[in-house]
Structure 1
Amino acid sequence: MLITARSLTKAYGAIVVLNDISFVLNASDRIGVVGPNGAGKSTLLRILAGHEKPESGKISFAPDVEAGYLPQQASDHLVDGEGSIQDLLLQATGNLRQLEKRMHELEAAMAVVDADHIDPLLNEYSNVASRFQDLGGYEIDYRIEQVMAGLHIDALPRERGVATLSGGERARVGLAALLLRSPDVLLLDEPTNHLDFPSMEWLESYLINYRGALLMVSHDRQFLNRAVNQIFEISEHDHNLHSYTGNYDAYVQAQASARAKWEADYERQQEEMQELRKRIKDAERSVGHANRTAPRDNDKFVRYFLAQGKQNAISSIVRTAEVQLKRIESNPIPKPPELVHIKSQFTTEPLRSQEAITLTNISKHIGKKNLFQDITSTIQPEARILLTGPNGAGKTTLFRIIMGQVEPDSGQVQLAPGVRIGYLSQEGEALDPDQTVLEAYSHQQVGFEGEFIGRLLGHGLFRLEDMQKKVRYLSHGQKRKLEIACLMAQHPNVLLLDEPTNYISLDVLEAFEEAILQFPGPVIAISHDRWFIQRYGGELWTLNQGRLSINTASDSDYLHSSWQGAD
């Protein structure tokens, strides 16, 4: 047992997010943590990593167990922005370097010590060398190259400052440093959010073969299917932890079976309670009727005797039924909570033009780097485009050029009359942290407060008690849900979606995917979510090394493609 959690409870004010959670993490465990946005998944990882404290409960680590933690968002990453990438790598492998240094010191000491004093040195050397080997010290230089190449950051100059990296680069450098530390337990919060497909595939293989334990929050269904052997679900209803053996698909099947059994058991018990109450009521009515029937004078005794026998029998039935009913009511099967039905759908007027957006010879440089050049294409009203390419290829920049937020170095973007672009950014920077959920949603809309509340509740994305929460106190997933609600409120007829499935819990994800598929206008999506890509289909735009290639390749061609170069 590496980690033991006993009765962990965590609340923010009056809101309980974790309630009496207990579990054991063993060395062979590969656990995926799932649950609705705001259910407490990230909070659990922060508590295990020591960045937050529970209100009650206890966490116990086995002796000498080290846990490594990767936060969910690049802006949260615990990477020192003052040093270089090389400094970070040396820090990550510091224990190994210290062990290696001590080995050399002991070797030098043993070379000159006399035979009478060599045994303590030999014993220490054996222990240090064994520890160095167990941690992969003899392969450390190879492992650094392997991890950096696997995450597609090997082209970054090692002397480059961490503070100069983009959010995605910083997240991947931080992940590389964490993997190189080789902790006994990896605590990963949405580790695939900033990875392109080749990096994601590499990370899957790395984690499958990792010698330590893994506890990971992820929305990536395919990643969960391949990388974990157990699912922890944090329920939004009781805020407790429920464990399921197997991968994500096995969890979905087991959860559906458990839900069906719960509903059947509840209905059966309700019917039993209704039958017992009816039996008691009917028996009491029979007793009352018997008491109102007066005996005749010639057989008073006989009729009285029979009536008493009948009343005793009925009383026995009543007592038995009351005992059974009391037993059930003392520990009833709770009513299964209503399933939240997410109603994400766009209402908009379709475009009348046959050419929604026209790109002509678009080029853009950043510093000395040529992001892309001479991009020319026409986007049709019903287009479905998947924009792919390695991290840093300029996909988000192309979106911003289309929206007019960034000027191209050359070329022209022409929007058809009536085009209203709805943009979902990757990190949600448009939200004001000081606004409430309701204020952020109603911003730049015309209407009454009651209308806005009704729409938000109608989407199924928020509850009434969420309306006055400040944006700054929302989880990343809750912020994403608010962005989706704001996007739908704009009634766009063109969608630009930058990693639309990031941070969204699996219940919201499927409903939002369906809304995108049913959208009447053109959609351009940047995504590395393989499950989403398989459903989305459409035309494939690949941006790589400054060039845009356009084809209708299937999602399987994309999923097995590899790109040259990195950020």
Structure 2
Amino acid sequence: MIALDKISVAFGARDLFKDVRLRFGLKEKVAIVGANGTGKSTLLKIICGIYEPDSGSIIKSKHTTVGYLPQETVVLSGKTLYEEVYSSAGDIKAIQNEISEIETELKEFEDQTSEEYLDLIQELHDLQVRFALLEGYQLNAKVEKILKGLGFSESDFKRQTEEFSGGWQMRIALAKLLLQNPNVLLLDEPTNHLDMDSLVWLENYLKSYSGTIILVSHDRKFLDNLATRTIELSNGVISEYAGNYSYYKMEKEKRREITENQFKNRQKYIKEQEKFIERFRYKATKAKAVQSRIKMLEKLDEIELEEDESSVRFTFPPATHSGKITYTIEKLKKSYDGKKFVLDGIDLIITRGEKIALVGANGAGKSTLSRILAGLESYQSGKVEQGHFVETKYFAQNQAEELNPEMTVLETMESASTSGEVYKSLRTILGGFLFHGDDVFKPVGVLSGGEKSRLALAKMLIEPSNFLILDEPTNHLDMRSKDVLMNALKKYQGTILVVSHDREFLDGFITKIVEVKSGNIKTYNCSMKEFSDIKENELKELKLFENQNDGYREDMQEEGNTKNELTPYERGIEIKKRKKELTKEITPLKKRINEIESELLKNETRKSEIEEIMSSEDFYKNAEKSIELKKEYSDILENIEHLNKKWDFETEKLNILLKQISNIN
């Protein structure tokens, strides 16, 4: 479908690519990987025609359409969200207009047996077939599906696009691209501004995408779940691997070991030849043999060794001692407008040594909660109590603003280092955060936003603490740097609360998940992988349920558009029948929800009773009774968690059915 033939690109004296040949076939899903600055984004821009290579050519098959999502998108304005995304379906809209024009023209014909009339009928038929193949009859449903999948609510549809922030602008651009459905989809860091739910939705959508996908991402799990082929860019060299990211890592390590053995054998061979040359250099009888071996050594190709990526290690300074309870949160309420509560009476206890991931949709309140714990955000009511001797360190993207622009990168780290062992390894730590060679002597003032963010993170991590609050710490890190950070956090002896949508990163050290949703929180004592599996299963069940109840409106619309309309009487009968069917499903569903709510009320009431008993001074005097109550309390907490999950699932099903009824007309 697309071929790159002997492509070369240079920046100054540095070759980014040299005589590169690549081919991308039909329906391939290709991951482009490599360290920051190796040319991944440049390669995508060359493929889509934004950049011209210094030499070489790009060959595309006839009728190939290419869509490109850059890392930085322009701010859109002048239309509502729905209008902006809908307008991107150019081909479908053009066909729709042609169909309307022909239908108008046909109405004016008196002679319906004329050749001209019959030609128009044939043209109309061809357009309708093409319109159907492009899923034109489902266009409105598709726009809605994509927007909701990417995290927009129906109330967002009528908002002006300029009202949305940068991260949401990227989602709008992505929605437009998915609706266009090009043959070749180029995605540069598509997950950067997505929350967990949107990321999983996009992943599933792309799995069934009918075209070719070429993507750049630092999200390892995303690449593992999508890519069928991996291309690595490293020091101007392109290497190909016939598998996903995990396969690439495994195969690359095998290749590195082979190269290392070749290098060792070569060095041994060179030493033997040099020993011979040195021994017989001044013997006339061996002069010819000596010269022959000198020339042979000169002709040997150099074997370049790649650094072993597992060699970069970083260990935190020992965590200072704190009390068993790190933070206690009770009935916490937070609102920005005095009406809608982002956090609506949440309770949470964070204990020493826990490593917690805060997850949830963008805008759910994750960053708000982390800022409240860091003492940077006020709240309306409730209690937030810090434990004994807790030393908190907080990182968010804006922490870079606090760096001294006059100091160098290395001086910034030296100023934060209080441990002799850490001081000795500052250069190694900086290397792990992508500051190599002379980079460490750069003044902070000349660094890019991403570089400042990485430096602020590295600086914070070497300062003594026992509670780390990290808000999206991996945003500007490549995969190697993320591994360095993940391994360090795994060994950290203090408490961690982290906001991140990077599943692979979180799964490396997290022991508990706190989901923020609709002003409340739900706790899961499991790994990130187990949590992802739970969510994916819930999504599959809901999707199956929605599919069973989602065909009516589209079927009726398609029937109308293809001129197979029912009579008003027949249509009325059909609508009545459908509403009756849906009502039959809704009635028992409402009953189940009421039963769940009654059970929840009973459990919550008993929970409060036990908590009151446990808070009394006499509670522990009767050991047998206290053990029984603790067991009952633990069981009740499990029941409440289970019932809440059931309530979420059943109410979601109810909302789908109610929407179906409202759409019948």
How high is the TM-score relative to the length of structure 2? Answer: 0.71
User: How much has 1:3 moved relative to structure 2?
Assistant: 5.0
> Given residue 100 of structure 1, which amino acid in structure 2 is its aligned partner?
Q
1:258-277 matched pairs, under 5 angstroms: 258-277=255-274
CA contact (8 A) 1:185 1:214 kept: yes
User: How much has 1:454 moved relative to structure 2?
Assistant: 7.2
Measure, in 2, the Cα distance between the counterparts of 1:441 and 1:97.
59
Evaluate the alpha carbon distance shift between residue 371 and residue 16 of structure 1 in structure 2; reply closer, same or farther with a 3 A threshold.
farther
> Given residue 261 of structure 1, which amino acid in structure 2 is its aligned partner?
I
Pairing 1:415–2:411 present: no
Measure, in 1, the Cα distance between the counterparts of 2:348 and 2:330.
7
Evaluate the alpha carbon distance shift between residue 440 and residue 71 of structure 1 in structure 2; reply closer, same or farther with a 3 A threshold.
farther
Pairing 1:80–2:76 present: yes
Pairing 1:163–2:176 present: no
315, 324, 331: which is aligned to 1:361? 331
Structure number with the higher helix fraction is: 2
Aligned to 2:190: 191
Measure, in 2, the Cα distance between the counterparts of 1:317 and 1:537.
64
User: How much has 1:206 moved relative to structure 2?
Assistant: 1.4
Evaluate the alpha carbon distance shift between residue 435 and residue 109 of structure 1 in structure 2; reply closer, same or farther with a 3 A threshold.
farther
> Given residue 274 of structure 1, which amino acid in structure 2 is its aligned partner?
K
CA contact (8 A) 1:232 1:243 kept: yes
Measure, in 1, the Cα distance between the counterparts of 2:479 and 2:83.
38
**Residues 271-303 of structure 1 deviation map (CA, whole Å, 9 limit, x = unaligned):** 223223333343445x35xxxxxxxxxxxxxxx
1:130-209 matched pairs, under 5 angstroms: 131-209=130-208
Aligned to 1:500: 473
Evaluate the alpha carbon distance shift between residue 429 and residue 172 of structure 1 in structure 2; reply closer, same or farther with a 3 A threshold.
farther
1:239-258 matched pairs, under 5 angstroms: 239-258=236-255
CA contact (8 A) 1:220 1:529 kept: yes
> Given residue 240 of structure 1, which amino acid in structure 2 is its aligned partner?
V
Pairing 1:104–2:77 present: no
Measure, in 2, the Cα distance between the counterparts of 1:355 and 1:125.
72
1:372-411 matched pairs, under 5 angstroms: 372-411=343-382
Pairing 1:9–2:9 present: yes
Evaluate the alpha carbon distance shift between residue 472 and residue 82 of structure 1 in structure 2; reply closer, same or farther with a 3 A threshold.
farther
Measure, in 2, the Cα distance between the counterparts of 1:527 and 1:439.
26
**Residues 515-544 of structure 1 deviation map (CA, whole Å, 9 limit, x = unaligned):** 111112110112332223333232222221
The root-mean-square deviation of aligned C-alpha atoms, in Å, is 3.5
1:266-305 matched pairs, under 5 angstroms: 266-284=263-281, 287=283
User: How much has 1:484 moved relative to structure 2?
Assistant: 2.6
> Given residue 189 of structure 1, which amino acid in structure 2 is its aligned partner?
D
Evaluate the alpha carbon distance shift between residue 530 and residue 383 of structure 1 in structure 2; reply closer, same or farther with a 3 A threshold.
same
CA contact (8 A) 1:135 1:182 kept: no
User: How much has 1:363 moved relative to structure 2?
Assistant: 0.7
User: How much has 1:212 moved relative to structure 2?
Assistant: 1.4
Aligned to 2:510: 537
SS in 2 for 1:326: helix
Evaluate the alpha carbon distance shift between residue 416 and residue 110 of structure 1 in structure 2; reply closer, same or farther with a 3 A threshold.
same
Measure, in 2, the Cα distance between the counterparts of 1:327 and 1:440.
44
CA contact (8 A) 2:359 2:500 kept: yes
> Given residue 393 of structure 1, which amino acid in structure 2 is its aligned partner?
A
> Given residue 455 of structure 1, which amino acid in structure 2 is its aligned partner?
L
CA contact (8 A) 1:542 1:549 kept: yes
Measure, in 2, the Cα distance between the counterparts of 1:264 and 1:40.
29
Aligned to 2:412: 442
Pairing 1:219–2:188 present: no
Measure, in 2, the Cα distance between the counterparts of 1:429 and 1:56.
43
> Given residue 408 of structure 2, which amino acid in structure 1 is its aligned partner?
L
SS in 1 for 2:168: helix
Pairing 1:528–2:501 present: yes
CA contact (8 A) 2:409 2:439 kept: no
CA contact (8 A) 1:360 1:377 kept: yes
Evaluate the alpha carbon distance shift between residue 63 and residue 437 of structure 1 in structure 2; reply closer, same or farther with a 3 A threshold.
farther
> Given residue 383 of structure 2, which amino acid in structure 1 is its aligned partner?
Q
Measure, in 2, the Cα distance between the counterparts of 1:183 and 1:172.
17
User: How much has 1:187 moved relative to structure 2?
Assistant: 1.3
Evaluate the alpha carbon distance shift between residue 82 and residue 64 of structure 1 in structure 2; reply closer, same or farther with a 3 A threshold.
same
Aligned to 1:45: 44
SS in 1 for 2:231: strand
Measure, in 1, the Cα distance between the counterparts of 2:445 and 2:117.
61
User: How much has 1:507 moved relative to structure 2?
Assistant: 1.4
Aligned to 1:302: none
Measure, in 2, the Cα distance between the counterparts of 1:433 and 1:49.
38
Aligned to 2:461: 488
User: How much has 1:130 moved relative to structure 2?
Assistant: 5.6
Measure, in 2, the Cα distance between the counterparts of 1:487 and 1:389.
25
Measure, in 1, the Cα distance between the counterparts of 2:181 and 2:78.
23
Evaluate the alpha carbon distance shift between residue 535 and residue 501 of structure 1 in structure 2; reply closer, same or farther with a 3 A threshold.
same
CA contact (8 A) 1:385 1:523 kept: yes
CA contact (8 A) 2:410 2:440 kept: no
Evaluate the alpha carbon distance shift between residue 472 and residue 262 of structure 1 in structure 2; reply closer, same or farther with a 3 A threshold.
farther
Pairing 1:518–2:518 present: no
SS in 1 for 2:190: coil
Aligned to 2:617: none
User: How much has 1:98 moved relative to structure 2?
Assistant: 1.5
Relative contact order higher in (CA < 8 Å, ≥ 6 apart): 1
SS in 2 for 1:204: helix
> Given residue 101 of structure 1, which amino acid in structure 2 is its aligned partner?
N
Measure, in 2, the Cα distance between the counterparts of 1:408 and 1:416.
19
Q: Which runs of 5+ in 1 are unaligned?
A: 289-310
CA contact (8 A) 1:231 1:246 kept: yes
**Residues 113-145 of structure 1 deviation map (CA, whole Å, 9 limit, x = unaligned):** 873435765676566556544433233223223
316, 321, 344: which is aligned to 1:346? 316
Over the matched positions of the two proteins, sequence identity in percent amounts to 28
